[in-house]
Amino acid sequence: MNATEWKEKLSAIRDSFSVSINNVQTENPEAIELRFLGRKGELALLLRDLKDIPIEERKALGALGNTAKEEMMVRLGALKGVPASAGPAAKPNLDLTLPGWPFPKGTLHPLTVTLNRMTECFAKLGFSVAEGPLIEEDYFNFEALNFPPFHPARDMQDTFYVDVKDASGKDMLLRTHTSPVQIRTMKNQEPPIRIISPGRVFRSEAVDASHSFAFHQIEGLYVDKNVSMADLKWTLEEFMKDLFGSSAKVRFMPSYFPFVEPGAEVEVSCVFCRGKADGPRCPVCKGTGWIELLGAGVVHPNVLKACNYDPAKWSGFAFGAGIERFAMLLFGISDMRMLYENDLRILKQVQ
């Protein structure tokens, strides 16, 4: 074979390689690779024939052969999904048994995890989820909840007002608690009612380790015939046991909220020190063995009346809790601000 014949042969191989590549549906890439680039493939055999060609011409032909080989490898690689930028040196080889590239996954926010867990517990007890607006009317946030105008209890909640008036000419406000959803639900539904209502609330408060101007609450409302404080106690005890474990205990301390009578602060036995008075002073319960977690009570007759429910026929209980406080207890977070800073080192610890 002389140099001219060799070049013609090379050109013929390149042409039939192109035909094969364009017919990949009938010929698979591996078969094409073997036929043209394999150790006994057409190109390898042609390169072996170079030994018969005079040395002066052999070098240039060898370069032509190598260029053709690289070109074929790149085209085959592209077919198999190997990027051309990997260069001809990267022999196209795809090992499907290798593990994939890890990629960062997002996680749910600790508050969302906490809320989901709380919602699940109440769902088991028959409570469904209701929602209300963040920008609220004075009527729903205060008045229908038995806070008449100028009632001193309004001062308990430092309110952000909005420069928009409602239909009765009063300034709208950012809801200071989730309790207005009680009123909205009762006005829209016939009893029996069994709802929880999670969501964001706002108060004009300075930010510190246990306060924020925007935080989250979950409200609960149960209205039916003959609902009593005993039903409230049982419900909250079941809830706490489900969330914190079967050894959790609940106790009620008398308290005041205008929309319930009687009203109570509900405390749970300390989930950290388990109420052991003898050990070192627990920083969470301050050595008392109890943690205050909720406000609750029996729905005030004035609230039922505002919703056109006859207090002689219907009764109910209500409760409200801060979700941040639960998240801090569940995940051992000591400063509420950690829940808002979105530091991935914190967020990734909570699944």
Determine which residue in the list 53, 295, 333, 338 makes contact with ligand DAH, applying CB under 6 A: 295
Peptide bond into 283 cis (omega under 30): no
260 binds ligand DAH (CB under 6 A): yes
Binding piece for ligand DAH, criterion CB under 6 A, among 21-29, 39-47, 107-115, 294-302: 294-302
Binding piece for ligand DAH, criterion CB under 6 A, among 25-33, 242-250, 283-291, 315-323: 315-323
300 binds ligand DAH (CB under 6 A): no
Q: E-assigned strands of 81-170?
A: 128-129, 135-136, 161-165
Considering the complex, what minimum distance in angstroms separates the CB of residue 186 from ligand DAH?
A: 13
Considering the complex, what minimum distance in angstroms separates the CB of residue 190 from ligand DAH?
A: 20
Helices 55-80 + 3-22 axis angle, to 10: 0
196 binds ligand DAH (CB under 6 A): no
Q: What are all long-range contacts of 166-170, with beta carbons under 8 Å and residues at least 24 apart?
A: 166/137, 166/138, 166/139, 167/137, 168/137, 168/139, 170/137, 170/138, 170/139
132 binds ligand DAH (CB under 6 A): no
320 binds ligand DAH (CB under 6 A): yes
197 binds ligand DAH (CB under 6 A): no
Please give the Cα distance from 325 to 114 (Å, whole number): 10
Within a 10 A sphere around the Cβ of 183, how many other Cβ atoms?
23
Please give the Cα distance from 107 to 326 (Å, whole number): 19
202 binds ligand DAH (CB under 6 A): no
Q: Give the CA distances from residue 113 to residues 32, 177, 228, 325, 349, in Å, rounded to whole numbers and listed in that order.
A: 54, 21, 31, 13, 12
Determine which residue in the list 319, 323, 327, 329 makes contact with ligand DAH, applying CB under 6 A: 319
Q: Is the dihedral of CA 89, 91, 96, 99 positive or negative?
A: negative
Considering the complex, what minimum distance in angstroms separates the CB of residue 280 from ligand DAH?
A: 32
297 binds ligand DAH (CB under 6 A): yes
- HSE (CB half, 13 Å, CA atoms) of 11? 6
179 binds ligand DAH (CB under 6 A): yes
127 binds ligand DAH (CB under 6 A): no
Phi, psi of 82 (to 5 degrees): -90, 120
Considering the complex, what minimum distance in angstroms separates the CB of residue 161 from ligand DAH?
A: 17
Q: The tokens 């070049």 sit on which residue?
A: 7
Contact mark string toward ligand DAH, 207..236, x via CB under 6 A: ------------x-----------------
CB-CB contact of 273 with 303 (8 Å): no
257 binds ligand DAH (CB under 6 A): yes
Binding piece for ligand DAH, criterion CB under 6 A, among 44-52, 53-61, 289-297, 333-341: 289-297
The binding site for ligand DAH (CB under 6 A) comprises 177, 179, 219, 257, 260, 295-297, 318-320
